[in-house]
Amino acid sequence: MYDRRRRRAFPRRKVCRFCADSKLKIDYKDAKQLKYFITERGKIIPRRISGNCARHQRQVTLAVKRARHIALMPYTTIQPH
Amino acid sequence: MRQYETLFIVNPDSSEEDLKAVATKIKGVVSGMNGIVTSYDEQGKKKLAYSVKKQNKGYYVLMDYVGSADIVSEIERNMRLDDRVLKYLTVKLADEVDPESIEPAKSEPPEETESVETPEEEAQPPEAEESAKEES
Ligand SMILES: [Zn+2]
């Protein structure tokens, strides 16, 4: 059920969107863009779901981790306080 | 000469003067280490994704600069000691920069190397370059 919901929210793409459009940049400062690659809980979406190629998934992952570090993105949506 | 950018968060309670004082101080650190600030962009007050030092908002500032490798630790040391700075993240943009060609640069995707306050889970993927050839 969990799986089905995620698949519907992020349908599989045949082509990595960054390979398809070279104008798309992966930037840790662009939280709006990176939001496509995390779940509602803030977890990074695996590339089998997002459709990213290995190279761009690595770049997305690095960007999300940087964005998290500088508080542009959440580590988790459950606030610990 | 290397090109870096540091994104940092200034306490949201800071006044205009505080922000100016931070700018002057940090820029002074760069020039004091023979670096050059190529851009200093105050991006305004933003909501933080999680609270940092009891704050839910902060002024984001993005500074691009060129300098030697030890400039980063000096900047970060200053930011760590400065109560007005909540958090910072430094990313290396380029290994070799021609000092002649320095101009306010709009950056391309940053490289794999970076220096962070807490080294946590930021495992660096050094294989990025080699394995990049596999696909496409
Ligand atoms: Zn790709």
pLDDT value of residue B86: 96
By the CB < 8 Å criterion, does A74 face chain B?
Answer: yes
CA distance A57 to A75: 18
- pLDDT band for B98, please (50, 70, 90 cuts): confident
CA distance A50 to A42: 14
Measure A46 CA to nearest chain B CA, in Å.
17
Total structural domains within chain B? 1
**Is B111 part of any domain?**
no
Q: Given B7, B121, B128, which is nearest A58 (Cβ)?
A: B128
DSSP A3-70: HHHHHHHSPPPSS-HHHH-TT----TT-HHHHGGGB-TTSPBPPHHHH---HHHHHHHHHHHHHHHHT
pLDDT value of residue B48: 96
Residue B65 β-bridge partners? B4, B37
Task: Check A29 against B110: CB less than 8 A apart.
Answer: no
Domain carrying residue B97 = 2-101
Q: Given B7, B112, B128, which is nearest A70 (Cβ)?
A: B7
Mean pLDDT of B68-84: 94
- pLDDT band for B99, please (50, 70, 90 cuts): low
Domain ranges of chain A: 36-76
C-beta neighbour count of B76 within 10 angstroms: 20
Measure A71 CA to nearest chain B CA, in Å.
5
**Is B110 part of any domain?**
no
Three-class HEC string of B26-49: HHHHHHHCCCEEEEEEEEEEEEEE
Using CA coordinates, name the residue in chain B closest to A55.
B132
CATH at residue B96:
3.30.70.60
How confident is the prediction for chain B on average, in pLDDT?
A: 81
Residues 19-48 of A with CB under 8 A from B: 19, 25-29, 31
Q: What is the CATH number of domain A36-76?
A: 4.10.640.10
Contacts of A62 in chain B (CB under 8 A): 112, 125
Residue B32 and residue A53 in contact, taking contact as beta carbons nearer than 8 Å: no
Q: Which of the two residues, A62 and A8, has the higher pLDDT score?
A: A62
**Is B29 part of any domain?**
yes
> Could you read off the pLDDT of A36-68 as tens digits, one per residue?
999 999 999 999 999 999 999 999 999 999 999
pLDDT value of residue B28: 95
**Is B121 part of any domain?**
no
**Is B76 part of any domain?**
yes
pTM for the model: 0.74
CA distance B69 to B115: 11
Contacts of A69 in chain B (CB under 8 A): 87, 89, 116-118, 120, 122
Virtual torsion, Cα B42, B47, B52, B58, nearest 10 deg: 30
**Is B113 part of any domain?**
no
R_g of chain B, CA atoms, integer Å: 16
